[in-house]
Chain A
Amino acid sequence: MNPQLTRRRFIKGVIFSGAAVTTGTGIYVAAAAQSGQSGAERLITLNINGRNRPVDVLPSETLAHTLRYKLDLTGTKIGCNRGECGACTVLIDGVANYACSVLTHNVKGKAVMSIEGVKAADGTLHAVQQAFIAENAPQCGFCTPGQVMSAVALLNRNPRPSKQEAREAMSGNLCRCGAYEHYLNGVLRASGQLA
């Protein structure tokens, strides 16, 4: 069990009080806390791209929303916002997930990686990003951050995937330009299987 999620923590903190704070525009700003305890719990710290980021999160807020509109990490795209396109794919503890279909409060204590965290500290692009450029994978580019994240997740657990394995791993990301073969070749190139 996650040591942070003790029973004491449950009693103390899990009951968010959000009923009094929503207005149409209030969603985009940190709404005033209703009481000390629940307000404190809404102020959580997320581990995003290796950094701890304190942020005020509404109970029903999705991770994609928090990343884009609270943390200014706009590389994560919101396409359908219903888990049907893959543009918002991020890694949560290394696993590819749709950020539009995960509550931000579900990733407390987990390591989130968005597209902004893929490149090396010195700015060098990830092998997947370099390979996608080499293969001319992005056309309009809207789906690209999600495609990169799915490819990174795959190569982290399977460094030399077959084309079929790559096809399956990338199957949760739509590309309306239809550049699927280019992305697939990019995954194979990033894994050193294409010269």
Chain B
Amino acid sequence: MPSHDVMPNMELYQPVQVEDALAIADRLADRGWLVGGGQDTYGWLKDRAKSVDAMIDLSAIEELRGVRDIDDGIEIGALTTLTEVANNDIIKSRYSLLSSAAGRVASPQIRNIGTLGGNVSQDVRCWYYRRGLSCYRAGGNLCYADTPQGMNREHALFETSRCVAASPSDTAPALVALDASMVIRSLDSERIVAAEDYFVGPANDIESTTVLRPGEILTAVRIPSTWANATFYFEKVADRNVWDFPLVNIAAAFKVSGGNIEDSRIVCGSVQCTPRRVTNVENAIRGRAKNAETAESVASMATEGARELAHNGFKIPLMQNLVKKAISA
């Protein structure tokens, strides 16, 4: 397959008002491609693995940028760059889980232009799929990764259904842990979707990783005050500290009182197509001491139901150890 250095020619729309962007997105539907920072987009188009008639560049829409206080928590514009999310004082002081996660995405230059909305909405990184092969996710009828010869070291442990690709996002687990909600607008309506429900696995929709439909735009992320200033833990394990997507990451929030865990939300990324909450662990540790002993006793629960592929079995102890570290930290 040839490599291409330039993108094919196409139309480019650069609206400066969200209403105009919605009108264009509605008119073009699946012939248009929303571009935030473009860091997921340009590879697809350069490789000719996907093609569209037009790009709708959202980056000039100022109202989709920035961090605002709202009645209960904060709202982050979807076009806010990952660098801004990582360095924003409000987020760092109350929701440092998210700033830690945003600061671990890719490389400094990518964080300077990559957006929060794009990071959570990006497509999976299975290289068979991204190479343009006609796999299930691309509308075909087989999975190249889940075969005896398939290279699937980075792929999913849970909730696979034909496709075994894993979620690549670092901020998505943090947003689920913080009980965030996503503001999705279309030309004539707005809907608010819990972060947990924003992500979609292959059993429900094999061609999309989010609930976003053509014509819709993710305009903002809202984080309630519920988990503000909780005890947070974020860790990303990747082959390299820069650029690489996580092998497994973990975002956890604990409410601790007198050394005991009152409540928690523990979410792992890159173990299935969506961020995975380990609710059985959350339930098991409720009311118990936040220490190494508790962590040890529940670690194996974290991976109950895992189905390992030929090369990703290492993710099971990795995920268990990350859950242990989060609880005992």
Contacts and interface: CB of A to CB of B under 8 A. Distances in A.
Contacts of A9: 16
Interface string B6-37: 11111111111100100000000000000100
A78 B108 contact: no
Given A1-B62, A103-B38, A106-B59, A60 B7 contact: yes
A105 B59 CA distance: 11
Interface string B228-262: 00000000000001110000000000000000000
Chain A at the B interface: SS class = loop
B12 A171 contact: no
Interface string B22-60: 000000000000010011001101100000010101011
Interface stretch (B93-101, B109-117, B201-209): B109-117
Interface residues of A, number: 44
A138 interface: no
B188 interface: no
A5 B21 CA distance: 14
A139 B46 CA distance: 30
B15 A14 contact: yes
A180 to B, nearest CB: 11
B9 A168 contact: no
Contacts of B12: 14, 16, 18, 59-60, 103, 105
Interface string A59-103: 111100100000000000010011110100100000111101111
Interface string A98-127: 101111011000000000000000000000
Contacts, number: 122
A5 B60 contact: yes
A17 B8 CA distance: 13
A27 interface: yes
Contact of A172 (B15, B39, B42, B107): B107
Q: B17, B108, B112 — which one has the most chain A CB atoms within 10 A of its CB?
A: B108
B105 to A, nearest CB: 11
Contact of B108 (A16, A82, A100, A168): A168
A163 to B, nearest CB: 15
A95 B16 contact: no
A59 to B, nearest CB: 4
A150 B108 contact: yes
A171 B242 contact: yes
Contacts of A78: 5
B38 A18 contact: no
Given A21-B9, A172-B110, A105 B42 contact: no
Among A7, A15, A103, the most chain B Cβ lie within 10 Å of the Cβ of A103
Contacts of A172: 106-110, 242-243
Contacts of B15: 10, 14
Nearest to A95: B112
A164 interface: no
A51 B293 CA distance: 64
A84 B42 CA distance: 12
Contacts of B45: 60
B169 to A, nearest CB: 16
A155 interface: no
Nearest to A64: B5
Interface string B114-125: 000000000000
B103 to A, nearest CB: 9
A2 interface: yes
A136 interface: no
A175 B28 CA distance: 42
Contacts of B7: 60-62
B237 to A, nearest CB: 17
B55 A59 contact: yes
B50 to A, nearest CB: 13
Interface in B194-227: none
Interface of A: 1-2, 5-7, 9-10, 14-19, 21-22, 27, 58-62, 65, 78, 81-84, 86, 89, 95-98, 100-103, 105-106, 150, 168-169, 171-172
Given A16-B13, A82-B43, 12 more contacts: A5-B16, A17-B11, A19-B11, A22-B8, A27-B6, A60-B9, A83-B43, A83-B106, A83-B107, A105-B12, A150-B108, A172-B243
Please give me the 3 A-B residue pairs with the lowest Cβ-Cβ distance, nearest first: A172-B107, A59-B12, A22-B9
9 contacts: A2-B16, A7-B16, A10-B20, A60-B55, A83-B106, A97-B112, A103-B57, A150-B108, A171-B242
